[in-house]
Amino acid sequence: MLTIACYSFEDPAHACARLRVLEPVRALGDAVRLLWGAVPCDAGHRLREDILDAADLVLIQRLFPYPDTAPLLRTILASGKPVVYDTDDDWTHLPASHAFAPEMPRRLPLILETVRQAACVTVSTQALAAVFEAQGARHVRVVPNGLPDALWPPTPPPDRPVAAVGLAATPSHRDDLAPLEAALSRLASRLGQSARWVFFGCPPEKGLFPGSTVLPFSQDYGAYAARLPRLGLAIGLAPLADTVFNRAKSPIKWMEYAACGLAGVFADLPPYQGVVEQERTGLLVGPDPKDWCQAVERLVRDPALRKRLAHQAWEAVSREHLLSARAVLYRQVWQAATQRGAS
């Protein structure tokens, strides 16, 4: 059994902790034992140094490197234990509008120091691998995100008489949606009762989509995964602004939509270009709002097309993108890092 001491400020109920740490460990069963090193408490987090002795490997996730954790980081890095740093975001190109941007000047130097000293850096995309290789990481491995089977049992596309169009995203995606809102609002007026609109987590500007359903974002990833299939959507939207930060993201939104039986319209950018087969498992669209309207209207007015795209995307996710098929990659990388650290 491989024992991992994980240091992360991610809430164990939230997506980053579950997708990159907790669910892979759960999928590996008795092969891996996880010790959580940052325990939430009234004061923020209680950091546990006592778990280091029992660990074969130390996993440091995302934003844990920080001036307040620097003493513990130095202890970890000096302990002789192999260290893996994991992230699914490019902290070197964080947009100024991002919620973490004000803190990044304090965090980034320690993140990069950890990256350079770690036995291995694990990331979710090739674009992220290139970022951290350029920053001096000694060994970078791409471990793609996979949907936890228990949270996302693939649902074959149902027949729906009304084409519900939805966007499921965190509020941080406002900058991605904003350039399309006015055009999509006009489309919504033109489509009338033939389509309804749902915004789950990322609300549009007030007044642009009268009669639409606007739901707050769910930080609890299990609750989010349970609710999305129940919204009755037929078409999922995934816009992305063309930024360096966004180009390094993973195609998790395509996987989630496909698992729910949705036909999707996706930004024609690297996160989706690698998985979406045009006109087969989704529609890739450039930045022009007119092109987005055209793609959405096609799917609304052509039930056979959206059912075909949804079914083929569902088959692709069921076959290749569930965690049950990918958890072994985590074990292989963690074991290799342990051996590398020991050597």
pLDDT tens sequence across 170-182 = 988 999 999 999 9
d(CA 135, CA 180): 35
Angstrom distances, CA of residue 305 to CA of 119, 188, 195, 287 = 48, 20, 16, 22
Residue 342 has pLDDT above 60, yes or no: no
Give the pLDDT confidence of 181-211 residue by residue, as tens digits.
999 999 999 999 899 999 999 999 999 999 9
Same domain, 124 and 206: no
The structure's pTM equals: 0.93
Total structural domains within the chain: 2
Instruction: With respect to residue 155, please indicate whether it lies within any of the assigned structural domains.
Output: no
Instruction: With respect to residue 106, please indicate whether it lies within any of the assigned structural domains.
Output: yes
CB 9 within 8 A of CB 62: yes
DSSP state of 217: -
Helices marked H in 207-288 — which ranges?
A: 221-227, 244-247, 252-259, 270-273
d(CA 271, CA 252): 9
Residue 227 has pLDDT above 60, yes or no: yes
Instruction: With respect to residue 158, please indicate whether it lies within any of the assigned structural domains.
Output: no
Same domain, 177 and 313: yes
Section 214-220 average pLDDT? 93
Give pLDDT, residue 161: 67
Same domain, 328 and 296: no
For the record, the structure tokens of 123 come out as 């990331």
Which residue range is the domain that position 300 belongs to? 163-320
Instruction: With respect to residue 76, please indicate whether it lies within any of the assigned structural domains.
Output: yes
Same domain, 136 and 177: no
Give pLDDT, residue 265: 98
Same domain, 123 and 219: no
